[in-house]
Structure 1
Amino acid sequence: MGVKALGYVIIETAQPERWDRFLTQLAGVMRAPDAADGAMQFRIDDRPFRFRIEKSNREWFKAAAYEVADDAALDDLAARIAAAGRPVERFTPEAAALRGVEAGFATSDPAGNGLEFYCGDSRTDEPFVSPLGISHFITGAMGMGHAVFSAPDFPATLAFHRDVIGFRETDMPAFHLMGPDAPAMHFAFLHADNGRHHSIAFGEGPVPPSGAVHVMLEYPSLVEVGKAYDRMKAMGYPESASLGQHFNDETVGFYVQTPGGFDLEIGCDSLVIDPASWEVTKHIGISIWGHEWAWQKAMAEAQKAEAAE
């Protein structure tokens, strides 16, 4: 067995109160008791936290953390990563306790994207209660959702995630985002050992100033997605992409910019795959419908302004 699922994410911020408002009042996640070291924690299910928000002097996506089966799998993965020339920083007992795990380590891929791997996860008997009345999020064996990064050296990053870590290819498209005559940008959507279409993905390009591209949460219904979309508008958060549906994972949703500068994808009705029999696809488009991106709007406005001169 390889990687089981995305377990949690760690975010650094100089403005924790902005993250508290964003996660509880827009996303509808539950504020949990702070960690022993003072970090804020937020829940979406029976795990003690899925978001760990650390006080810092910068806005930065620190790490996406993935679960493996046991100590033996963790040790084997650490050895492979070290042999590939990437750092392996083992958790102290204190660091493991803060994360609610038995053991783990921090590392990074060839692009410098922050990663953690762990075994021995934990659960709480305290019921999940959304401050906005959301009944539940889609997690379970499929984990928290997915995380998306950038990769300046796309082939090296893909080889690391596929051949060293053990993620497997789900969809491997190349999009002409800047126009039909522009060079294609390659993307990799990779699945773990569960039914989620992708637990990690990355696109060809420079690492953004925020440290990540986006994190996705799956909501229980289109009604809850629509209500979140209305909240985004009413609260004045920047819309990164309007409502739409993806080709590859069939998710219906939208993107909103987080206080950290990367996006949160809020979606529902995502495709569930059979990881054992999935055959790799190569979709030629991002969206079946919708998803007007902020950068597309900016380009269109710039072209209008240039034509008016």
Structure 2
Amino acid sequence: MGVKSLGYVVVETTQPEEWDRFLTRVAGVMRAPDAADGAALYRVDERPFRFRIEQGASDRLVAPGYEVDSAAALDDLAARIAAAGRPAEHATAGEAALRGVERMFRTVDPAGNGVEFYCGDSRTEEPFVSPQGISHFVTGELGMGHAVLSAPNFDETVAFYCDVVGFRPTDLPRFYFQGGPPEDSGIGFAFLHASNGRHHSLAIGEGPVPPSGCVHLMLEMPSLVEVGKAHDRMRREGFPESATLGLHVNDEMTSFYVQTPSGFDLEIGCDGLVIDPATWETTRHESISVWGHVWAWQEAMRKAAD
């Protein structure tokens, strides 16, 4: 499989100052020198950036960027995507340099979500120093973390990522938020892994694409202590909590969710399950969490019913 991991994300925002406050003071990532075109860059490890924040007219995830093995793998993937009837817009050398990569192309999945693929990643010798004293984030071969997108044409979009791009299904659950059938038809999810041990580098949820272009992104902390400290910083800085601390069933991650300045969520967690991508057999869990993860909308519904 040619897809290695999630390398970076590109975000457009009308609130670059709020993103800076969010990333440095809540998530604890490192501000890097701005890109040549003025975009704000943020690091979580030795890569020159993992977050590229572009000032613009909207607040949304522009695209997650996924690394593939080689230039040959990139060309092969672009050809498969074009043969499937999707665009494959190759970037100029200057555009690739702004991503810190040798080559890249852009596409749009069947649901309209933007995504980028690249080869030839880069590293910096400048040490990573978190402004919040975090020793490191869990990245390396596992990549930056994961991205969760939405698709109203769920089956078609999942087939695109599995049959065309080359992700593999880790967990294919159907989650019920309103008590289950027959009243609750549930929501389908596809948790997809790349060629590394992270449980999922991409997930697709059944539903309309939100204006923010994303359901959530995830960063993995080195310990529960750091997750708890980030939770305290979220409260202190006044960013909305989207879901309380909890333990997920499928990827075994202890995490909470906070709303970013662009409207989608950031999951901050630790102790995620590491799989063997070569031997993993697809699971179909029926619940989201072992405990916790009470969503803000659920709490609002409970209060309205009191």
Aligned equivalents of 1:13, 1:292: Cα separation in 2: 28
Deviation of the 1:60 alpha carbon: 1.0
1:177-224 Cα shifts (integer Å, max 9, x gaps): 133221121100000000000000011001111000000000000000
TM-score, normalised by the number of residues in structure 1: 0.97
Alignment-mate amino acid for residue 230 of structure 1: D
Q: Corresponding residue for 1:270?
A: 272
Pick from 221, 239, 242 the counterpart of residue 241 of structure 2: 239
Aligned letter for 2:38?
A: G
**1:196 corresponds to which residue?**
198
Unaligned runs of 5+ in 1: 305-309
* Matched residue, 2:60: 60
1:178 aligns with 2:178: yes
Query: How large is the RMSD of aligned CA atoms in angstroms?
Result: 0.7
1:288 counterpart = 2:298: no
Question: C-alpha deviations, 1:55-111, integer Å up to 9, x for none?
Answer: 101101000000001111000000111111111110101100000100010111111
Specify the alignment match of 2:11 in structure 1: 11
231-240 vs 35-44, which moves further: 231-240
Q: Secondary structure at the match of 2:179?
A: coil
What corresponds to 1:148 in structure 2?
A: 148
Map Cα deviations across residues 8-64 of structure 1 (whole Å, 9 max, x no partner): 000001111110000000000000000000000000000000000011011010000
Q: Distance in 2 between matches of 1:295 and 1:161?
A: 30
Distance 1:24 1:218 in 2: 15
Partners of 1:138 and 1:176 lie apart in 2 by 30
1:211-250 aligned within 5 A: 211-250=213-252
Aligned pair count? Answer: 304
Cα-to-partner distance string for 1:108-145 (whole Å, 9 max, x where unaligned): 11111110000000000000000000000000000000
Match of 2:120 in 1: 120
- Aligned mates of 1:131, 1:184 — CA distance in 2: 41
- In structure 1, the partner of 2:87 is 87
Identity of aligned residues (%): 69
Question: What amino acid maps onto 2:265 in structure 1?
Answer: D
Q: How much does 1:2 deviate?
A: 1.8
Determine the C-alpha separation between the residues in 2 that align with 1:69 and 1:175. Answer: 34
Residue equivalent to 2:30: 30
Aligned to 2:160: 160
Q: 4+ residue runs of structure 1 moved beyond 6 angstroms?
A: none
What amino acid does structure 1 have at the position aligned with 2:217? V
Which amino acid in 1 is paired with 2:218?
M
| Structure 1: distance between partners of 2:15 and 2:208 | 25
C-alpha distance in 1, partners of 2:93/2:284? Answer: 43
- Deviation readout 1:235-274 (Å, 9 max, x if unpaired): 1110000000000000001000000000000000000000
Query: Residue 307 of structure 1 corresponds to which residue in structure 2?
Result: none
TM-score, with length taken from structure 2: 0.98
Distance in 2 (alpha carbons) for counterparts of 1:238 and 1:85: 40
Q: Which runs of 5+ in 2 are unaligned?
A: none
